[in-house]
Amino acid sequence: MNSTTFWTYLDHNATTRVRPEAAAAMAQTLSECGNPSSVHRAGRLARQHLEAARGAVAQAIGLAEGGTLVFTSGGTEANQLALFGTGRARVLRSAIEHDSVREATPDAVEIPVEPGGTVDLKALESLLEGGPALVSVMAANNETGVIQPIAEIVRLAHEAGALVHCDAIQAAGKIPFDMAALGVDLVSVSAHKLGGPTGIGALAVAPGLQLQPRQRGGGQERGMRAGTENLPGIVGFATAITAAIAELPRYAELAELRDAMERRLRAIEPEAVLFGAERPRLPNTTSIALPGLASELQVMALDLAGIGVSAGSACSSGKVRPSHVLGAMGAGPALARSAIRISLGRDTTSEDIDRLVAAWALLAQRRQAKKGAA
């Protein structure tokens, strides 16, 4: 049994285990005492830790020299600082964005996606004709793992005078991501998706772009986000993302394990539906539906078998509801209600996959029995 309460934990897109080196760095920081805003020796040492961590995170995501990295309480705050900080009243967001973007921008213009899960670039080009805007498109989807054509989105947006915000919370530390090379204006990242602690994230702001703060006070974070910085969390974040970038080749190898798993699941139940499998995806993510078998039933049955998966996003207060992501990709409500997300982590083994496949085979048998009785 691994360190979670499950025999097999396969919900790493929700959160993943804190890296030992990140925990050690946090413990060391917690043993010290100093406010980064203080001018005495302890404060200066804390400031050194803060700025070293800022540089490490900025380098890991490719923030260009002269840009700004603002530490936040997590990905949600980073997303919303980007969405509201530019002052752009017109927001275009993809139909598959995370709820932290969707719920914050109920009046946004929605960019449709193609059945494979990538943004419809022709539709985006047409929508951009409506005037200066902020375009918000995630780098990789948290439910399906589908990777978006960010460079092309940036090109179209900039030609129309729009800014681009990219939620890279699922992508960072899993695939190469270079903000400057892509030309993105704003990038959100979060520590706990890549082996850092919860409660810490960051927004990267391209050089020359000024934002209006949403949280005012003592002027911390270059006046962009008031409040004493969560220094242990920040240090843990920097340590984790540095380690994650170094391990990207190892993470890419998860695709072989994931693809083999998907072949085995489809062999057991050919009617199972894989979402986004024909497009580039994160190497660790599978979204699969067993038509006619409710997502919550599958999650609970696998939980009882000692396997942790989810029914889409984990950020819905524990509620299981039809996925807006799968709906946007053309899946009907019934099919969307039968999908689960399996997300592998850096410590996932072939034995973990064997246990999942065995438990899923029992679910498929239950489905067949239900069909036979109907």
Burial classification of residue 178, based on how many CB atoms lie within 10 Å of its CB (0-12 exposed, 13-18 middle, 19 or more buried): middle
Identity of the amino acid at 195: G
Give first-to-last CA distance, the chain, whole Å.
Answer: 38
Q: Quick one: which H or E segment has residue 287?
A: strand 285-289
Q: CA–CA distance from 14 to each of 84, 157, 170, 176, 273 (Å)? A: 25, 30, 9, 20, 22
- Residue at 28: amino acid letter: Q
Count CB-CB contacts under 10 A for residue 45: 15
- Buried b / exposed e over 127-148, threshold 16 CB at 10 Å, is bbeeeebbbbbbbbbbbbbbbb
Residues serving a catalytic function are 315
The contacts of residue 127 (CB under 8 Å, 6+ apart) are 92, 109, 111
Rounded-to-integer distance, Cα 114 and Cα 244, Å: 31
- Written as six digits, the tokens of 125 are 């080009």
Q: Rounded to 5 degrees, what are φ and ψ at 90?
A: -100, 120
